[in-house]
Amino acid sequence: MAAGGSAAREAAYQRELAEEHDRAAAAARELVRRFNAGSLGERRVREALRPLESVGYRILEDRQWPGSSRANVDLVVIGRGGLFVVDAKNWAEVEVVGADGATRVYRGQEDVTDELARLADLADTIEARLAEHGVAPSVIHPLAVFSRNAGISGRVHTVELLSESDAVRRMLNAPTVLSHRLVDRLDAAARLVMPEHSTGPRPVAVVLPTPVRHLSPVEDAPVELLSREEVEAGFLAAHLAEPIEEWMTFLHPEQVAVVRRSYSGPSRIRGAAGTGKTVVGLHRAAYLARTRPGRVLVTTFVRTLPDVLRALLRRLAPDVVDRVDFLGVHEVAKTVLVGHGVRYRVDPEEADRAWATAWRESPAHPELAALESDHEYWRDEVRLVIKGRGITALAEYEDCARTGRRRALTQSQRGAVWGLFEDYDRELRRRQVWDFPDVVAGARACLTEAQDHRWSSVVVDEAQDLSAAMVGLLHDLVGDAPDGLTLIGDGQQSIYPGGYTLGELGISLAGRGVVMTRNYRNTVEIADFARELLRGDEFADIEGGRGSADVAELMRHGPVPALERFASRTAHDRAFAAHLHSLVERGIRAGDIGVLTRTNRDAENAAEYLKRMGIPTVLLTRWDGARIDAVKVGTTYRAKGLEFAQVALLRVPGRVLDEPDGSERRMLERRAVYVAATRARDGLWVGVV
Is residue 422 within 8 Å of residue 429, measured between CB atoms?
no
- Please determine, for residue 374, whether its predicted confidence score (pLDDT) is greater than 60: yes
The answer on 188 and 95 residing in a single domain is yes
pLDDT of residue 198: 64
- Please determine, for residue 633, whether its predicted confidence score (pLDDT) is greater than 60: yes
Which range has the worst mean pLDDT, 491-495, 547-551, 668-672? Answer: 547-551
pLDDT of residue 561: 97
The answer on 595 and 539 residing in a single domain is no
Mean pLDDT value of segment 397-407: 86
The answer on 188 and 261 residing in a single domain is no
The answer on 319 and 358 residing in a single domain is no
- Please determine, for residue 200, whether its predicted confidence score (pLDDT) is greater than 60: no
Q: Read off φ and ψ for residue 455, nearest 5 degrees.
A: -125, 140
Output DSSP code: residue 455. -
Which range has the worst mean pLDDT, 242-256, 429-443, 453-467, 581-595? Answer: 242-256
Q: What is the CATH number of the domain that holds 189?
A: 3.40.1350.10
Mean pLDDT value of segment 229-257: 56
Mean pLDDT value of segment 562-578: 94
Q: What percent of the chain has pLDDT over 90?
A: 46
pLDDT of residue 646: 96
Closest CA to 567 of 689, 650, 651: 689
Residue bearing the bigger pLDDT, 475 or 169: 475
Which residues is 140 bridged to in the sheet? 83
- Please determine, for residue 214, whether its predicted confidence score (pLDDT) is greater than 60: no
- Alpha-helical runs (H) found in 534-663: 569-585, 600-612, 654-657
Residue bearing the bigger pLDDT, 228 or 309: 309
The overall average pLDDT reported for the chain is: 84
Closest CA to 140 of 196, 68, 221, 77: 77
**Residue 8, domain member (yes or no):** no
pLDDT of residue 234: 43
In terms of C-beta distances under 8 Å and separation of at least 24 residues, what long-range contacts does 568-577 make, across chains too?
568/689, 569/651, 569/689, 572/650, 572/651, 572/687, 572/688, 572/689, 573/609, 575/687, 576/648, 576/650, 576/685, 576/687, 577/609, 577/613
Query: Confidence band (pLDDT; 50, 70, 90) for 665?
Result: confident
Output DSSP code: residue 489. E
- Please determine, for residue 548, whether its predicted confidence score (pLDDT) is greater than 70: no
- Please determine, for residue 413, whether its predicted confidence score (pLDDT) is greater than 60: yes
Query: Confidence band (pLDDT; 50, 70, 90) for 33?
Result: very low
Which range has the worst mean pLDDT, 57-66, 149-158, 198-207, 471-480? Answer: 198-207
**Residue 207, domain member (yes or no):** no
**Residue 32, domain member (yes or no):** no
- Please determine, for residue 34, whether its predicted confidence score (pLDDT) is greater than 50: no
- Please determine, for residue 550, whether its predicted confidence score (pLDDT) is greater than 80: no
Is residue 330 within 8 Å of residue 436, measured between CB atoms?
yes
The answer on 459 and 328 residing in a single domain is yes
**Residue 198, domain member (yes or no):** no
Mean pLDDT value of segment 101-126: 87
The answer on 567 and 541 residing in a single domain is no
128-139 per-position pLDDT tens digit: 888 888 888 888
Which range has the worst mean pLDDT, 269-273, 313-317, 364-368, 523-527? Answer: 313-317
The answer on 79 and 185 residing in a single domain is yes
324-335 per-position pLDDT tens digit: 999 999 999 999
- Residue 482 half-sphere exposure toward CB, CA atoms < 13 A: 7
Closest CA to 518 of 236, 244, 298, 306: 236
Strands 58-64 and 72-79: antiparallel
Boundary of a domain, candidates 553, 580, 601: 553
Q: What is the CATH number of the domain that holds 462?
A: 3.40.50.300
Query: Confidence band (pLDDT; 50, 70, 90) for 19?
Result: low
pLDDT of residue 35: 43
Query: Confidence band (pLDDT; 50, 70, 90) for 632?
Result: very high
The parent domain of residue 82 ranges over 41-193
212/204 Cα distance (integer angstroms)? 10
- Please determine, for residue 119, whether its predicted confidence score (pLDDT) is greater than 60: yes
**Residue 266, domain member (yes or no):** yes
Query: Confidence band (pLDDT; 50, 70, 90) for 30?
Result: very low
The answer on 549 and 451 residing in a single domain is yes
- Please determine, for residue 451, whether its predicted confidence score (pLDDT) is greater than 80: no
Mean pLDDT value of segment 214-229: 34
Q: What percent of the chain has pLDDT over 70?
A: 85
Q: How many domains does the chain have?
A: 4
597/599 Cα distance (integer angstroms)? 6
Residue 17 makes CB contacts below 8 A (sequence gap 6+) with none
Mean pLDDT value of segment 166-177: 83
516/305 Cα distance (integer angstroms)? 22
Beta strands in 372-483 (DSSP E): 457-460
Boundary of a domain, candidates 433, 449, 473: 433
Number of Cβ within a 10 Å radius of residue 666:
15
Mean pLDDT value of segment 555-567: 94
Boundary of a domain, candidates 525, 553, 581: 553
Query: Confidence band (pLDDT; 50, 70, 90) for 313?
Result: confident
Which range has the worst mean pLDDT, 19-23, 164-168, 405-409, 494-498? Answer: 19-23
SS3 call for 650: strand
Mean pLDDT value of segment 426-455: 92
Which range has the worst mean pLDDT, 56-65, 165-174, 196-205? Answer: 196-205
The answer on 140 and 113 residing in a single domain is yes
pLDDT of residue 209: 35
- Please determine, for residue 80, whether its predicted confidence score (pLDDT) is greater than 70: yes
The answer on 620 and 676 residing in a single domain is yes
| C-alpha torsion sign, points 591, 593, 599, 601 | negative
pLDDT of residue 526: 96
**Residue 218, domain member (yes or no):** no
The answer on 376 and 303 residing in a single domain is no
Beta strands in 280-368 (DSSP E): 296-300, 324-328
Is residue 162 within 8 Å of residue 153, measured between CB atoms?
yes
416/396 Cα distance (integer angstroms)? 14
